[in-house]
């Protein structure tokens, strides 16, 4: 997934927050909580795509956001 994250970072660059906002619009609070739990437990990209019925790119962007916020919480 890291290679795909780098690809998305290159594609969106400084506009990453815009992509995240676009994707976040459709997510319910419960789905976001479930996503974060699955992300931190190490579920595969495919399992998460199936569970949330979302495209690969969206799952990766949401995972990148989880990772970014996780680093912030640890500081």
Instruction: Work out how many domains the chain is built from and give that number.
Output: 1
Q: What residues make up the domain containing 64?
A: 2-74
pLDDT of residue 69: 75
Q: Count how many residues are written for the chain.
A: 75
Q: Per-residue confidence at 75, pLDDT binned at 50, 70, 90?
A: very low
How far apart CA 29 and CA 48 sit, in angstroms, is: 16
pLDDT of residue 67: 81
- Record the tokens describing residue 20, joined without a space: 């995240």
pLDDT of residue 71: 60
Q: Per-residue confidence at 8, pLDDT binned at 50, 70, 90?
A: low
pLDDT of residue 74: 45
- Record the tokens describing residue 52, joined without a space: 């949330």
pTM of the predicted structure, to 2 decimals? 0.67
Dihedral, CA atoms, 66, 39, 23, 17, nearest 10 degrees? 20
pLDDT digits (tens, 9 = 90+) for 36-67: 899 989 999 899 999 998 888 888 888 888 88
How far apart CA 73 and CA 11 sit, in angstroms, is: 26
């Amino acid at each position: 997934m890291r290679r795909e994250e780098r690809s998305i970072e290159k594609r969106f660059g400084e506009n990453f927050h815009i992509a995240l906002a676009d994707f976040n619009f459709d997510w319910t609070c419960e789905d976001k909580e479930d996503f974060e739990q699955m992300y931190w437990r190490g579920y595969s990209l495919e399992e998460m795509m199936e569970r949330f019925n979302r495209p690969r790119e969206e799952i990766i962007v949401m995972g990148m956001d989880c990772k970014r916020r996780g680093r912030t919480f640890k500081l």
